[in-house]
């Protein structure tokens, strides 16, 4: 790729152009350097030395391979681990429709029971029921969360 | 870094139904893993950390696969660039969260775990070691840009998408990185 849209500054060392040319993905080719820069290079030993160093740096960088050497078995094992981990995450993140329906039904049943008791009991009796329910609420929540966790853990173990 | 064969496989994998798409993704990950690990090794300069980055990258790729849009015309992002972007973010997250921050920038012995196979092993291993150390000495943002450009032939636009900064910043980071790398290699006497 040519360094288009930017002319090397007249009378100054075109270091930026040289750096870009030396670090092109396809490697350094003198042809890819703008003509003005090539002219400058011919008369400037400093820039030639700079370019040589950049090219040598690039060559040294090539000592490292782009891909890691890793056996197919290791790769397959890593991918399987990732698939299993993603499956566990998905199971934890998404409660299934039966759980959701269960919670909705439970909330509906509680509301229905309250409405019925409001009809059947005297105000004092209903208040006593409310107090008992308030006291029991944390325990109920605890049981529900424990059940939910057990269901989730079981499903996660299956993936 | 366009790998046209890989990209057509990605488009084919997206076109099939959900179950088949997931197993196609596994095949794609298997294919691209050595490249991903190569990137992560140079980014982290630490084999264990690189494997951790790859693992979390693949988990995020699998869970986010349905949201991924392959390249179509000027829209979308290449599969490899998408994975590299995730890997870059995973590494940033690990660096931010982990107490192992101190070891994250330390070069691993033996060329950062990149197994050697060349005939002129002695010279190569010295050069590899020096190169890994020099890479590890660079600031993290410069290192990512340099690695993407040098080893994965990424365009400036792709790098800007992967690391999440404007193309101008990518160019200037690359320039500083190359100059810093030259100094580091000089200091180690290999240049
Ligand atoms: Zn000059």
Q: What CATH number should be reported for the domain holding residue B169?
A: 1.10.10.10
Per cent of chain A over pLDDT 90 is: 36
User: In this structure, are A100 and A151 located in the same domain?
Assistant: yes
H/E segment holding residue B164: none
Domain encompassing residue A56? 9-61
Residue with tokens 């010279």: B123
pTM: 0.73
Q: CA nearest B121: which of A71, A61, A66, A63? A: A63
H/E segment holding residue B74: none
Per cent of chain B over pLDDT 70 is: 87
Confidence at B112, pLDDT banded by 50, 70, 90: very low
Identify whether A24 is part of a domain.
yes
Residue with tokens 């030993």: A45
Identify whether A52 is part of a domain.
yes
What would the pLDDT profile of B11-64 be if each residue is shown by its tens digit? Answer: 888 887 777 778 889 999 999 999 999 999 999 999 999 999 999 999 999 999
Identify whether A143 is part of a domain.
yes
Q: Check residue B91 and give its pLDDT.
A: 95
Average pLDDT, chain B: 86
* Minimum distance, in Å, between the CA of residue B161 and any CA atom of chain A: 17
> Which residues in chain B have their CB less than 8 angstroms from residue A79's CB?
26, 29-30, 33, 58
When divided into structural domains, chain B yields a total of 1
Contacts of residue B54, defined as CB under 8 A and 6 or more positions apart, other chains included, come to: A78, B33, B36, B37, B40, B87
Contact pairs from chain A to chain B, CB under 8 Å:
108
Average pLDDT, chain A: 81
Cα-based torsion angle of the residue sequence B176, B178, B182, B185 in order, rounded to the nearest 10 degrees: 110
Q: Check residue B77 and give its pLDDT.
A: 84
Q: Check residue B187 and give its pLDDT.
A: 92
Identify whether A1 is part of a domain.
no
User: In this structure, are A49 and A100 located in the same domain?
Assistant: no
pLDDT beyond 70 at A8: no
Domain encompassing residue B37? 3-187
Kindly identify which residue of chain B lies nearest to residue A73, measuring between CA atoms. B30
Minimum-distance CB partner of A60 among B34, B55, B185: B185
Q: Check residue A150 and give its pLDDT.
A: 65
Identify whether A125 is part of a domain.
yes
* Minimum distance, in Å, between the CA of residue A50 and any CA atom of chain B: 10
Q: Check residue B100 and give its pLDDT.
A: 53
pLDDT beyond 60 at B92: yes
Ligand 1 center to B145 CA (angstroms): 26
> Which residues in chain B have their CB less than 8 angstroms from residue A53's CB?
182, 191
- Give chain A's count of helices (H) and strands (E): 6, 0
**CB spacing of B62 vs A70 below 8 angstroms:** no
Minimum-distance CB partner of A82 among B62, B124, B127: B62
Contact B136, B105 (CB under 8 A): yes
ipTM over 0.85: no
Q: How far apart are CA B187 and CA B191, in angstroms?
A: 8
φ/ψ of residue B166, rounded to 5:
-65, 160
Of A41-45, A147-151, B69-73, B121-125, the range with the highest mean pLDDT is A41-45
Ligand 1 center to A115 CA (angstroms): 91
Minimum-distance CB partner of A60 among B29, B55, B131: B131
> Which residues in chain B have their CB less than 8 angstroms from residue A22's CB?
178
Give the lowest-confidence range in A8-17, B103-112, B173-182.
Answer: B103-112
């Amino acid at each position: 790729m040519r360094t288009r849209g930017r002319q090397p500054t007249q009378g100054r060392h075109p270091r930026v152009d040289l750096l870009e040319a030396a670090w092109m993905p396809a490697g350094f080719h003198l042809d890819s350097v703008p003509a003005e820069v090539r002219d400058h290079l011919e008369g400037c030993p400093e820039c030639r030395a700079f370019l040589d160093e950049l090219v040598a740096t690039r060559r040294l960088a090539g000592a490292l391979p782009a891909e890691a050497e890793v056996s197919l078995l290791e790769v397959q094992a890593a991918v399987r681990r990732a698939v299993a981990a993603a499956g566990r995450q998905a199971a934890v993140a998404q409660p299934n429709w039966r759980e959701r329906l269960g919670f909705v039904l439970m909330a509906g049943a509680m509301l229905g029971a309250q409405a019925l008791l409001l009809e059947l009991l005297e105000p004092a009796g209903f208040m006593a029921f409310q107090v008992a329910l308030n006291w029991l609420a944390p325990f109920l929540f605890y049981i529900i969360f424990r059940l939910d966790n057990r269901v989730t853990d079981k499903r996660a173990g299956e993936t | 870094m366009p790998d046209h064969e890989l990209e057509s496989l990605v488009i084919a994998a997206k076109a099939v139904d959900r179950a088949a798409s997931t197993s196609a993704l596994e095949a794609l990950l298997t294919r691209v893993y050595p490249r991903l690990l190569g990137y992560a090794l140079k980014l982290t300069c630490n084999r264990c950390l690189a494997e951790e980055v790859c693992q979390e990258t693949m988990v995020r790729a699998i869970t986010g696969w349905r949201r991924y849009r392959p390249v179509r015309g000027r829209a979308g992002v290449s599969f490899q660039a998408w994975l590299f972007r995730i890997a870059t973010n995973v590494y940033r997250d690990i660096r931010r969260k982990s107490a192992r921050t101190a070891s994250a920038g330390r070069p691993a012995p033996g060329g950062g775990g990149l197994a050697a196979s060349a005939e002129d092993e002695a010279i190569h291993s010295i050069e590899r070691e020096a190169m890994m150390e020099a890479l590890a000495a660079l600031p993290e943002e410069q290192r990512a840009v340099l690695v993407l450009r040098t080893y994965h032939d990424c365009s400036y636009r792709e790098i800007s998408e992967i690391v999440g900064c404007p193309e101008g910043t990518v160019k200037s980071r690359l320039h500083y990185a190359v100059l810093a790398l030259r100094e580091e290699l000089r200091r180690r006497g290999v240049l």
